[in-house]
Chains A and B, each alone.
Chain A
């Protein structure tokens, strides 16, 4: 096939863990000595798969291992995976910021990467000067920028401020200007990280639209990395799923996302609750720990499948190990696409000083609110403005079973994140 735009073969990247410094010189000398004798680098053999959670005894770790894939021209490929799966490392290699340890990347045409918008912007320079600065950093020459300057400024919507130093710009204006330059780069291959997370909704839409346009109408190839399943789904054609530095799934974007979510959900298919017996495994910090989390209808028995007419109790048992001031527990309910359904905080029910000891929280989700499907519970705790004592942690999932029939002859699943019972009043002859 002649329309492969980018081909990646056996790509691997090894990192050294821990302190860089002491010991490097001896490793360097050893490596050099092996090289002189024509032997293989002794440190390439060791190294483990990259799993953040497990404590490894090797100093070396593979951030990427045996990555192979191809992308056809004009395609938009989504790269998804958990934090630390190797997505950013892959992007860094593609954008030549860092080199691979083994393997090759072959590409047709210029690769431009957008790991950040507005790289090289200097606050003291004017908008115009910064367009040139940023453009040349990304590999355009002055002539190219000159011919596109009007378009760029128009896309960014900052023409009035073109000769103002950008330190006077709002942060949104700066992002728009940065993206506008990048969007007019016209590379054959565009590599985009989650830069779109910044900027307002309107701008995000504009940016996604631009990427679609670039791929569809100009036949350019886009590689897009994101945690936001919704934008990946709407933008990409195909996807790859990365896990611990390897590709574990490769297919259409819908299949990839489904596979990812299924994998993720598997872990939560507990019997409606988890209890951490070993204090070392408990999520939290030295001040605050989770002991047990479960969902229930009667506050006692674990339950993971509910009917939409059930009240759902979410019970969280915690231990406060050091006295806390103004601490609050926040709880987010997510749907299967990681969309936040709602957020709730213990804030108004907490005392300002919390002594050490055991605390049980119970949250009640009213009946007839949630729709059919799987939901996730994410917990986070902290003292606002002081510190986090429990980072956002997905602890549990539960399912809402099919809506029970209420008068209708056949049950249907209505689309929507929630399905509350809405009161309808219908008056005939209302005049």
Chain B
């Protein structure tokens, strides 16, 4: 009897470490469909359609230029304000969007999750992958502005070789937002307080990230606080690569990498533990 082989075994709560990545791989076509769904449906029945991809960052940058640049007079390292804010905003938006959406993944998908089983990890993964489209389009916008400034103005831009790190930076941001989002969404199934924390938390985090100011303008004795934020080195590296100003440091980048790996592992474990019985608590 006991020699019989079973293909499916359902047991009470798996141990914390049993993350079934092979199963996630088996469902890769679902990931693909979810991403496709986001592409197909995101701007359906809107008047301006994909133009929204441009409107959002352009308006954000305009506001930043007036408020922080003109009124408050915060330094932009001598760069044209638009380029400075745009480069930071584009990356930051990707991170914030992914974080926001993955942080509500259980809540947003309870209908589907309550009806059918698939590895739940697919859902947050599809969010960070879908976000790449918007990021890509906005990076093109940035490229447009860079070319404009290069050919039609006197501004001297130095592009550094570190720009080649961009794909790594994007992967880092995706992993970081994924990890953080999964932790938050897992905890919110039981403790809703975190929803409120998250709403202004991301907003506040923006001010602890050198998006609207350069890291170099932060007084030396406070810089370590800003550097503790793992997003800092990502944004600074990007600005250093694409605009030629900013602080590039392998040490800071390695810190971000380690931080991200730990968060991602932690997030995956917590998420995996939660997915098993979240239907009973959500």
Do A and B originate from a single complex? Answer: yes
Q: Which residues of A pack against B, CB within 8 Å?
A: 2, 4, 7, 15-16, 20-21, 24-25, 28, 92-111, 113, 115-116, 119-120, 122, 124-125, 129, 132-133, 136-142, 188
Query: Contact partner of A2 among B4, B41, B280, CB < 8 A?
Result: B4
Can you spell out 23 A-B residue pairs with CB atoms less than 8 angstroms apart? Answer: A2-B4, A20-B281, A24-B191, A25-B191, A97-B113, A98-B277, A104-B10, A104-B11, A107-B6, A108-B7, A110-B7, A110-B8, A113-B116, A116-B115, A120-B112, A122-B41, A124-B41, A124-B44, A125-B41, A129-B37, A129-B40, A136-B27, A137-B112
CA distance A113 to B117 in the complex (A): 8
Binds A, one of B28-36, B74-82, B141-149, B178-186: B28-36
Asked if A111 and B190 make an inter-chain contact with CB atoms under 8 angstroms apart, the answer reads no
Given A119-B112, A138-B116, A139-B27, A99 contacting B7 (CB threshold 8 A): no
CA distance A104 to B13 in the complex (A): 11
Instruction: Report the minimal beta-carbon distance from B32 to chain A, rounded to whole angstroms.
Output: 8
Query: Contact partner of B115 among A97, A99, A100, CB < 8 A?
Result: A97
Q: Which residues of the partner chain A approach B277 to less than 8 Å between Cβ atoms?
A: 98-99
Tally inter-chain residue pairs, CB-CB below 8 A: 116
Asked if A97 and B116 make an inter-chain contact with CB atoms under 8 angstroms apart, the answer reads yes
Which 3 pairs show the lowest CB-CB distances between chains A and B? A96-B117, A136-B30, A105-B10
Instruction: Report the minimal beta-carbon distance from A155 to chain B, rounded to whole angstroms.
Output: 20
Asked if B8 and A99 make an inter-chain contact with CB atoms under 8 angstroms apart, the answer reads no
Q: Which residues of the partner chain B approach A4 to less than 8 Å between Cβ atoms?
A: 4
Instruction: Report the minimal beta-carbon distance from B118 to chain A, rounded to whole angstroms.
Output: 6
Max chain A Cβ within 10 angstroms of own Cβ: one of B8, B190, B277: B8
With CB as the reference atom, state the residue of chain B lying closest to A95: B117
Instruction: Report the minimal beta-carbon distance from B9 to chain A, rounded to whole angstroms.
Output: 5
With CB as the reference atom, state the residue of chain B lying closest to A93: B10
Interface string of B1-17 (1 = CB under 8 A from A): 00011111111110000
Asked if B117 and A97 make an inter-chain contact with CB atoms under 8 angstroms apart, the answer reads yes
Q: Which residues of the partner chain A approach B27 to less than 8 Å between Cβ atoms?
A: 136, 139
CA distance A140 to B41 in the complex (A): 22
Interface string of B225-265 (1 = CB under 8 A from A): 00000000000000000000000000000000000000000
With CB as the reference atom, state the residue of chain A lying closest to B3: A2
With CB as the reference atom, state the residue of chain B lying closest to A94: B10
Asked if A132 and B33 make an inter-chain contact with CB atoms under 8 angstroms apart, the answer reads yes
With CB as the reference atom, state the residue of chain A lying closest to B281: A20
Given A119-B116, A137-B112, A98 contacting B9 (CB threshold 8 A): no
Q: Which residues of the partner chain B approach A99 to less than 8 Å between Cβ atoms?
A: 10-13, 276-277
CA distance A95 to B112 in the complex (A): 13
With CB as the reference atom, state the residue of chain A lying closest to B14: A99
Query: With A107-B9, A108-B6 given, can you name 9 additional A-B contacts, CB distance below 8 Å?
Result: A15-B280, A95-B116, A97-B117, A98-B279, A99-B12, A104-B11, A124-B41, A136-B29, A137-B118
Asked if A137 and B6 make an inter-chain contact with CB atoms under 8 angstroms apart, the answer reads no
Q: Is B150 an interface residue (CB 8 A)?
A: no
Asked if A98 and B12 make an inter-chain contact with CB atoms under 8 angstroms apart, the answer reads no
Given A15-B280, A20-B190, A139-B27, A106 contacting B115 (CB threshold 8 A): no
With CB as the reference atom, state the residue of chain B lying closest to A105: B10
Q: Is B114 an interface residue (CB 8 A)?
A: yes
CA distance A110 to B118 in the complex (A): 12
Given A20-B281, A122-B41, A141-B29, A105 contacting B116 (CB threshold 8 A): no
CA distance A113 to B37 in the complex (A): 23
Instruction: Report the minimal beta-carbon distance from A234 to chain B, rounded to whole angstroms.
Output: 26
CA distance A98 to B33 in the complex (A): 24
Instruction: Report the minimal beta-carbon distance from A62 to chain B, rounded to whole angstroms.
Output: 13
Q: Which residues of the partner chain A approach B10 to less than 8 Å between Cβ atoms?
A: 93-94, 96, 99-100, 104-107
Asked if A109 and B7 make an inter-chain contact with CB atoms under 8 angstroms apart, the answer reads yes
Q: Is B158 an interface residue (CB 8 A)?
A: no
Asked if B8 and A107 make an inter-chain contact with CB atoms under 8 angstroms apart, the answer reads yes
Q: Which residues of the partner chain B approach A105 to less than 8 Å between Cβ atoms?
A: 8-10
Interface string of B23-54 (1 = CB under 8 A from A): 00011011011101100110011000000000
